[in-house]
Amino acid sequence: MAPPSVLWLNNALQVLSNAAWYSAAPFIPLYLAAQGASVAVVGTIVGVSGVAPLLVSIHAGALVDERGPIVVAKASVILFAAAGAILTVLHRLWAVAVAYALMGIGNIGFAIAPQAIVAAASTDATRVRNYGYYALWNSAGAVVGPVIGGLAAGHFGYTAAFAPVWLLMLPAFGVTASLRGVPAAARARVSLATAHTVIGAIVRQRGVGAILFLSSMMVCAQTLQQSFYPLYLHKVGLPDTLIGLVVAAVSLSSMLVRTLLAWGVAWLGYARLLLGATALAAIALGITPLLHQFWTLVVASGLLGASLGFTQPLTMSLLAECVAAEFWGIAFGVRQSVQRVSAIASPVVFGLVSVARGLESAFLAGALTLLGAVLIMARAAGYARRPAAGPPGQPPA
């Protein structure tokens, strides 16, 4: 098991990497629109830029299992720094697509490696709690990032919002260099080249299919928030600074509810909490087209954030419980692959819906998608159980 101090460094890395991502990501669609791109083109660039992350997800997970998560985390820092430099210096649609793809690949590493670190540094009793803290600090970075980006974009233009991507990677590299004591799996059974051979066995594990399905559905909601939500906020007349605050409300709400994660699981169990959180996301998306004022939009963002705040760490913890330790990296890579498929397809689909029926229709389509997921999950929720969690409220162990 990794030393407990690793969890705190891991959480610091989440703050820095998510702050970097969210300082730029909410404003990339607006930047593309300012460059003359249509809604359909924006959706296509956001979707297609996810192809590269999809292709590397499983092998990035295998690299975590074979070489350890720290190597992958350092590589992600380098990719983010390069993407930030491209966004800051180059001003072409193709450059935005390339940089967004590099950030997407980096995000795969920033997801798989830290999730494997949490699994390695936890016991069965502390795992769900530690994933809650991991997700909480992940949200903390996502709260700070859009505020920084919104202020920079509002005062100095969109290019200024992209500079923090590479600036925040300077301390991030120092954090990854300080991580110690997180070895590769002692019983690794597959190499980087043969990682694909165990995917079927992992997916067939009891409960894994339901976890992956729910993860993919929640990415639909997250993709709407990242790609079309800023466009809708701009359409109703909010300035860039307020757009940053509304987007930050999603992450702030996620951060707050994650302090209640252990109590929620102990009270409701995994199944009911996951179903309720997914339904909450459907409600948040469904009411968004009816809202046009700053504070009401903040409330809708808060509901969506609360949903993501529960579903993300719960699915991580469940996946770690369902899969043997030597396959954690690949399992998290499979989860990322499924999420990337949704991230590629959903903005393209929602973009076509918005072109045909208006921007508001994309949110209604997202709400209906999540309601359908709730009905399907209600029939497949028997795998979820109440965990043997330690006392809630303790610091990471």
pLDDT in tens, 56-84: 888 888 888 877 888 899 999 999 999 99
Looking at residue 380, its pLDDT comes to 57
Whether the Cβ atoms of residue 125 and residue 32 lie closer than 8 Å to each other: no
pLDDT averaged over every residue in the chain: 81
Helix 69-89 crosses helix 169-178 at what angle (to 10 degrees)?
Answer: 170
Q: How many angstroms separate the CA atoms of 59 and 127, rounded?
A: 24
pLDDT > 80? residue 6:
yes
Whether the Cβ atoms of residue 343 and residue 253 lie closer than 8 Å to each other: no
What mean pLDDT is predicted for residues 364-382?
A: 79
Looking at residue 189, its pLDDT comes to 57
DSSP at 191: -
Looking at residue 98, its pLDDT comes to 86
Q: Token pair 């499924």 is at which residue?
A: 338
Q: Both tokens of residue 160?
A: 């200024």
Using left for φ > 0, alpha for ψ between -120 and 50, and beta otherwise, residue 286 falls in alpha
Q: How many angstroms separate the CA atoms of 282 and 286, rounded?
A: 6
Looking at residue 389, its pLDDT comes to 38
Q: How many angstroms separate the CA atoms of 285 and 350, rounded?
A: 13
State the burial class of residue 322 (Cβ atoms within 10 Å of its Cβ: 0-12, 13-18, 19+).
Answer: middle
Pick from 5-9, 111-115, 181-185: least confident: 181-185
Looking at residue 384, its pLDDT comes to 44
Helix intervals (H) in 204-327: 208-227, 229-235, 240-258, 261-287, 294-322
CA 87 to chain centre: 21
pLDDT > 50? residue 124:
yes
pLDDT in tens, 138-195: 878 877 888 888 888 777 777 877 888 899 999 999 999 888 766 555 555 565 666 6
Q: How many angstroms separate the CA atoms of 266 and 315, rounded?
A: 16
pTM listed for this prediction: 0.71
pLDDT > 60? residue 24:
yes
